[in-house]
Structure 1
Amino acid sequence: MSRSIKIIIADGHKLLTDSLQVALNQQDGMEVKQVVDTSSALMKSTEKSGADLVITEMSLGDADGAAIIQKLKRQNANLRVMLLTSSEDSAQVLKAVDFNVDGIQMKNCSLDELIMAIRIVASGQKFYAPQVLRMIASRPPMESQAGLSAREVEIMQMLAEGLSAREIGERLLISSRTVETHKANIMRKLNVKKATHLVKIAFDRGLVKAAR
């Protein structure tokens, strides 16, 4: 008999997580080890549970999906991470793709479609829902980003939205000192001498978008 897929569910909606836990535990070869609703609880549970797969949402408390993906992958490179989302925000979804999430399924999928996605991701393959594949296919060519990394672009966007280094660090689960280091690297790559000019130049060059 093959080994069960050990799963952690991380989502803030209790009705969903309770229903999902019951449904997955009834599947052959699947075992829900723990259900959590915060990013800190998720990190602790993955350290202790021996989980193979995390199913989480696009944002968990104050932490966004990309930050969660990165931290989980740093903690355990073999852990598979799948987003279960209702978001139609292509920027958020594509950011998760850029940060190497293993799978993305939509919350309006059927149970059979979710089970299929879980088995594919747990086997070591990627799975993206049809809606996500359409987002990837229709993605416009990236404008010149002056060699900025995905993380630097993400931090640049948050700076443009008026967030402080502390607030960015809390959202991305990194220290404010690390945020300041990224900011200094961005300024160097964009050849900006004064921090007060950074956001304006980023807008002028199309590197960030105005907050909605």
Structure 2
Amino acid sequence: MRDNTTFARQQDVEGGRESAPISVALRASDAILEHGINAYLTSSPRVSVLPRGSLLEADVSVLVLNNMDDEWLKVLKHDAARTFHYPIPVVIVADAISESQLNLAIEYGMTSFLPRSQTNLDQLVDAVVEASAGHSQMPEMLVFQLVAELRQRKRKTILAEVLQDSGMSAREIEVLRMLSEGMDTGEIAARMSYSERTIKGIIHDVVKRWKLRNRTHAVAYAMRVGIL
């Protein structure tokens, strides 16, 4: 039922038509904060705040926090489990969120994040309406964090594939990395607690396996394929 209502609201929002108030499950860091925001939201014709404990009947979940912390992440995780079959978009207002918290919050259903110091109550209502229509709001800084994280994950995937195809070991990669930083075999041997002969053998094996000319060519190749 909630899914059909949400779809209808999305059509109304996109078509510019009036729609029924959006049901909101509101929670905040403290009772005074929650009471104040509840009073404002209740005065808006666009939203309707549900009684505490009515998460499963909500169209959008709103959390207004002093700080995002492990306890609130546990709340998000618990909510995600309860609404697994009928996911509810989550709008979070908080002072800050770390990269690891951001990734977990998104995994647990967060669709929009609003910096508390830069958000007024009208903007919160707008975010709730947008969330109910399937839209997301993220500050530019958080978008950059997400893009960087996705790139890093992609790089790790590519690296794993390259390593599997090439048969490279972690020790060989470390030797190539130190060569790329300008270290000679003696310095690498001392750093890795190997003999210089062992380091030269590792380099020789890599050059031979990849059919390269020399160690410089090996470093350049490793950079080109994304190992370094």
For the aligned pair, the TM-score class normalised by the smaller chain equals 0.5 to 0.7
Q: 1:34 to 1:59 in 2, by over 3 A?
A: farther
Q: CA deviation at 1:131?
A: 3.5
RMSD value over aligned CA atoms? Answer: 2.9
Matched residue count:
135
- Whole-angstrom CA distance in 1 between matches of 2:138 and 2:112: 5
What is the TM-score with the length of structure 2 in the denominator? 0.50
- Choose which of 98, 113, 125 in structure 1 pairs with 2:123: 113
Query: 2:54 aligns to what?
Result: 45
Q: 1:88 to 1:15 in 2, by over 3 A?
A: same
Q: Is residue 5 from structure 1 mapped to residue 40 from structure 2 by the alignment?
A: no
- Whole-angstrom CA distance in 1 between matches of 2:125 and 2:113: 12
Query: 1:40 aligns to what?
Result: none
- Whole-angstrom CA distance in 1 between matches of 2:37 and 2:86: 24
- Whole-angstrom CA distance in 2 between matches of 1:19 and 1:2: 25
What is the TM-score with the length of structure 1 in the denominator? 0.53
Q: If each structure's helix is expressed as a fraction of its own residues, which one has the higher value?
A: 2
Q: CA deviation at 1:24?
A: 1.0
Query: 2:106 aligns to what?
Result: 97
After superposition, residues 33-182 of structure 1 pair within 5 angstroms as: 33-35=50-52, 44-47=53-56, 50-56=57-63, 57=65, 58-59=68-69, 61=71, 64=74, 66-74=76-84, 76-77=86-87, 79-108=88-117, 109-139=119-149, 141-142=152-153, 143=156
State the 4+ residue runs in structure 1 displaced beyond 3 angstroms.
57-63, 137-140, 143-146
Query: 1:166 aligns to what?
Result: none
Q: 1:3 to 1:10 in 2, by over 3 A?
A: same
SS at match of 1:127: coil
- Whole-angstrom CA distance in 1 between matches of 2:38 and 2:116: 15
Larger radius of gyration: 2
Kindly indicate whether the alpha-carbon contact (under 8 Å) linking 1:24 and 1:32 is maintained by their aligned counterparts in 2: yes
Q: CA deviation at 1:103?
A: 1.7
- Whole-angstrom CA distance in 2 between matches of 1:28 and 1:87: 30
Query: What percentage of residue pairs aligned between the two structures are identical?
Result: 13
- Unpaired segments ≥5 residues, structure 2: 1-17, 161-228
- Whole-angstrom CA distance in 2 between matches of 1:89 and 1:11: 19
**Residue type at the aligned position of 2:59:** D
- Unpaired segments ≥5 residues, structure 1: 36-43, 147-212
SS at match of 1:76: coil
- Whole-angstrom CA distance in 2 between matches of 1:60 and 1:27: 32
